[in-house]
Amino acid sequence: MNIMNIMPWDQRIARVLVRPLVRSPVRPNQISMLTLVVALAGAGLLATGDAAMANWGAGLFIMSRFLDHFDGELARQQGSTSKLGYYLDYVSGGLSYAALFIGLGVGLVGALGVWAIVLGAAGAASALISMFSNMQIDKYQSGAETIDAVGYPGFAGFELEDGIYILGPITWAGWLLPFFVAAGIGASIYCLWTIFTQLKHAAAAR
Protein backbone atom coordinates (compact mmCIF):
# COMPACT_ATOMS: atom_id res chain seq x y z
CA MET A 1 0.00 0.00 0.00
CA ASN A 2 1.25 3.46 -0.88
CA ILE A 3 1.55 5.31 2.42
CA MET A 4 0.95 8.60 0.61
CA ASN A 5 -2.47 7.47 -0.66
CA ILE A 6 -3.86 5.65 2.38
CA MET A 7 -7.47 6.54 3.21
CA PRO A 8 -7.62 9.26 5.91
CA TRP A 9 -8.33 7.92 9.39
CA ASP A 10 -11.30 10.21 10.01
CA GLN A 11 -12.84 9.06 6.75
CA ARG A 12 -12.39 5.43 7.83
CA ILE A 13 -14.24 6.17 11.06
CA ALA A 14 -16.99 7.98 9.15
CA ARG A 15 -17.35 4.99 6.81
CA VAL A 16 -18.23 2.79 9.79
CA LEU A 17 -20.42 5.28 11.67
CA VAL A 18 -22.52 6.13 8.62
CA ARG A 19 -23.63 2.54 7.96
CA PRO A 20 -26.81 2.74 10.10
CA LEU A 21 -27.97 5.63 7.87
CA VAL A 22 -27.66 3.75 4.59
CA ARG A 23 -31.25 2.42 4.68
CA SER A 24 -32.66 5.48 6.44
CA PRO A 25 -34.42 8.50 4.86
CA VAL A 26 -31.29 10.59 5.50
CA ARG A 27 -29.60 11.76 2.31
CA PRO A 28 -26.01 12.97 1.74
CA ASN A 29 -27.04 16.49 0.75
CA GLN A 30 -28.92 16.86 4.03
CA ILE A 31 -25.73 16.03 5.90
CA SER A 32 -23.81 18.57 3.80
CA MET A 33 -26.28 21.28 4.82
CA LEU A 34 -26.11 20.16 8.46
CA THR A 35 -22.32 20.45 8.49
CA LEU A 36 -22.57 23.98 7.14
CA VAL A 37 -25.14 25.02 9.76
CA VAL A 38 -23.01 23.56 12.58
CA ALA A 39 -19.89 25.28 11.20
CA LEU A 40 -21.67 28.63 10.98
CA ALA A 41 -22.90 28.23 14.56
CA GLY A 42 -19.36 27.50 15.70
CA ALA A 43 -17.97 30.49 13.83
CA GLY A 44 -20.68 32.68 15.34
CA LEU A 45 -19.71 31.65 18.86
CA LEU A 46 -16.03 32.32 18.10
CA ALA A 47 -17.01 35.79 16.89
CA THR A 48 -18.40 36.74 20.31
CA GLY A 49 -14.89 37.15 21.71
CA ASP A 50 -16.02 35.41 24.91
CA ALA A 51 -13.64 32.65 26.08
CA ALA A 52 -16.39 30.26 27.17
CA MET A 53 -18.36 30.75 23.95
CA ALA A 54 -15.16 30.32 21.93
CA ASN A 55 -14.62 26.93 23.56
CA TRP A 56 -18.08 25.80 22.46
CA GLY A 57 -17.56 27.35 19.04
CA ALA A 58 -14.31 25.44 18.50
CA GLY A 59 -16.00 22.21 19.50
CA LEU A 60 -18.86 22.78 17.09
CA PHE A 61 -16.53 23.61 14.23
CA ILE A 62 -14.46 20.49 14.80
CA MET A 63 -17.63 18.41 14.85
CA SER A 64 -18.76 19.97 11.57
CA ARG A 65 -15.48 19.13 9.85
CA PHE A 66 -15.66 15.54 11.06
CA LEU A 67 -19.27 15.24 9.88
CA ASP A 68 -18.11 16.55 6.52
CA HIS A 69 -16.85 13.02 5.76
CA PHE A 70 -20.28 11.51 6.33
CA ASP A 71 -22.02 12.86 3.22
CA GLY A 72 -19.53 11.39 0.77
CA GLU A 73 -19.40 8.05 2.53
CA LEU A 74 -23.19 7.88 2.74
CA ALA A 75 -23.48 8.72 -0.96
CA ARG A 76 -21.08 5.94 -1.88
CA GLN A 77 -22.80 3.36 0.32
CA GLN A 78 -26.27 4.37 -0.85
CA GLY A 79 -25.15 4.57 -4.46
CA SER A 80 -26.46 8.13 -4.60
CA THR A 81 -23.40 10.12 -5.68
CA SER A 82 -24.30 13.12 -7.82
CA LYS A 83 -22.90 16.29 -9.34
CA LEU A 84 -25.08 18.32 -6.98
CA GLY A 85 -23.67 16.49 -3.98
CA TYR A 86 -20.12 17.02 -5.22
CA TYR A 87 -20.59 20.79 -5.57
CA LEU A 88 -22.63 21.09 -2.37
CA ASP A 89 -19.88 19.38 -0.40
CA TYR A 90 -17.27 21.78 -1.77
CA VAL A 91 -19.44 24.86 -1.20
CA SER A 92 -20.24 23.75 2.34
CA GLY A 93 -16.55 23.33 3.11
CA GLY A 94 -15.51 26.59 1.50
CA LEU A 95 -18.18 28.63 3.26
CA SER A 96 -17.43 26.90 6.57
CA TYR A 97 -13.76 27.87 6.50
CA ALA A 98 -14.57 31.37 5.28
CA ALA A 99 -16.97 31.77 8.20
CA LEU A 100 -14.33 30.45 10.61
CA PHE A 101 -11.81 33.09 9.57
CA ILE A 102 -14.40 35.85 9.73
CA GLY A 103 -15.57 34.66 13.13
CA LEU A 104 -12.02 34.51 14.48
CA GLY A 105 -11.25 37.94 13.03
CA VAL A 106 -14.27 39.56 14.65
CA GLY A 107 -13.68 37.76 17.94
CA LEU A 108 -10.04 38.83 18.14
CA VAL A 109 -10.47 42.51 17.23
CA GLY A 110 -9.83 43.41 20.84
CA ALA A 111 -6.41 41.75 20.69
CA LEU A 112 -5.27 42.60 17.16
CA GLY A 113 -7.35 45.62 16.25
CA VAL A 114 -7.97 46.21 12.55
CA TRP A 115 -5.37 43.55 11.67
CA ALA A 116 -7.77 40.91 12.95
CA ILE A 117 -10.29 41.96 10.31
CA VAL A 118 -7.61 42.09 7.61
CA LEU A 119 -6.29 38.64 8.49
CA GLY A 120 -9.81 37.23 8.78
CA ALA A 121 -10.77 38.62 5.39
CA ALA A 122 -7.56 37.26 3.83
CA GLY A 123 -8.24 33.83 5.31
CA ALA A 124 -11.87 33.85 4.15
CA ALA A 125 -10.89 34.92 0.63
CA SER A 126 -8.19 32.25 0.53
CA ALA A 127 -10.70 29.58 1.57
CA LEU A 128 -13.13 30.55 -1.19
CA ILE A 129 -10.47 30.88 -3.89
CA SER A 130 -8.99 27.52 -2.87
CA MET A 131 -12.45 25.97 -3.16
CA PHE A 132 -12.76 27.01 -6.82
CA SER A 133 -9.14 26.08 -7.59
CA ASN A 134 -9.57 22.62 -6.06
CA MET A 135 -12.65 21.96 -8.16
CA GLN A 136 -10.64 22.78 -11.26
CA ILE A 137 -7.80 20.54 -10.08
CA ASP A 138 -10.31 17.72 -9.60
CA LYS A 139 -11.41 18.08 -13.22
CA TYR A 140 -7.85 17.96 -14.51
CA GLN A 141 -6.95 14.94 -12.39
CA SER A 142 -10.15 12.92 -12.76
CA GLY A 143 -11.69 14.17 -15.98
CA ALA A 144 -14.41 16.70 -16.72
CA GLU A 145 -17.17 14.32 -15.58
CA THR A 146 -15.81 13.67 -12.10
CA ILE A 147 -18.27 13.65 -9.20
CA ASP A 148 -15.77 12.92 -6.46
CA ALA A 149 -13.14 15.17 -4.92
CA VAL A 150 -9.51 14.21 -5.29
CA GLY A 151 -8.82 15.46 -1.77
CA TYR A 152 -6.19 17.43 0.13
CA PRO A 153 -2.48 16.63 0.25
CA GLY A 154 -1.91 13.89 2.80
CA PHE A 155 0.52 11.41 4.32
CA ALA A 156 0.05 8.14 6.24
CA GLY A 157 -3.69 8.58 6.67
CA PHE A 158 -3.59 12.24 7.65
CA GLU A 159 -4.64 15.09 5.37
CA LEU A 160 -3.61 18.73 5.50
CA GLU A 161 -7.18 19.57 6.47
CA ASP A 162 -6.90 17.38 9.59
CA GLY A 163 -4.95 20.17 11.24
CA ILE A 164 -8.32 21.76 12.04
CA TYR A 165 -8.80 19.17 14.79
CA ILE A 166 -6.22 20.94 16.93
CA LEU A 167 -8.49 24.01 17.02
CA GLY A 168 -10.20 22.57 20.09
CA PRO A 169 -7.16 21.98 22.33
CA ILE A 170 -5.61 25.25 21.20
CA THR A 171 -8.76 27.23 22.01
CA TRP A 172 -9.24 25.52 25.35
CA ALA A 173 -5.58 26.23 26.22
CA GLY A 174 -6.01 29.93 25.42
CA TRP A 175 -3.77 29.93 22.34
CA LEU A 176 -6.40 31.02 19.83
CA LEU A 177 -4.57 34.21 18.85
CA PRO A 178 -1.33 32.58 17.61
CA PHE A 179 -3.40 29.86 15.93
CA PHE A 180 -5.42 32.49 14.08
CA VAL A 181 -2.29 34.24 12.83
CA ALA A 182 -0.66 30.97 11.76
CA ALA A 183 -3.87 29.69 10.14
CA GLY A 184 -4.38 32.93 8.21
CA ILE A 185 -0.84 32.79 6.83
CA GLY A 186 -1.15 29.06 6.14
CA ALA A 187 -4.46 29.49 4.31
CA SER A 188 -2.92 32.14 2.07
CA ILE A 189 0.04 29.90 1.26
CA TYR A 190 -2.27 26.96 0.56
CA CYS A 191 -4.37 29.18 -1.70
CA LEU A 192 -1.30 30.13 -3.71
CA TRP A 193 -0.38 26.44 -3.97
CA THR A 194 -3.82 25.53 -5.33
CA ILE A 195 -3.64 28.33 -7.90
CA PHE A 196 -0.15 27.22 -8.96
CA THR A 197 -1.29 23.58 -9.22
CA GLN A 198 -4.35 24.58 -11.24
CA LEU A 199 -2.22 26.62 -13.65
CA LYS A 200 0.26 23.76 -13.97
CA HIS A 201 -2.53 21.32 -14.91
CA ALA A 202 -3.98 23.86 -17.34
CA ALA A 203 -0.60 24.28 -19.04
CA ALA A 204 -0.15 20.51 -19.29
CA ALA A 205 -3.61 20.12 -20.80
CA ARG A 206 -2.89 22.54 -23.65
Q: What is the mean pLDDT of each run of 10 residues along the chain (206 residues)?
A: 59 90 92 96 97 96 93 90 89 96 97 95 97 90 60 62 87 94 93 94 85
Cα distance between residue 60 and residue 110, in whole Å: 23
> How many C-beta neighbours within 10 Å does residue 157 have?
15
Bridge partners of 159? 154
Residue 202: partners with Cβ closer than 8 Å, 6 or more residues away: 136, 140
Class of domain 3-205: mainly alpha
Instruction: Round to whole Å and give the CA distance between 88 and 165.
Output: 22
Give the dihedral of Cα atoms 146, 83, 127, 104; nearest 10 deg: -140
pLDDT for the residue numbered 2: 37
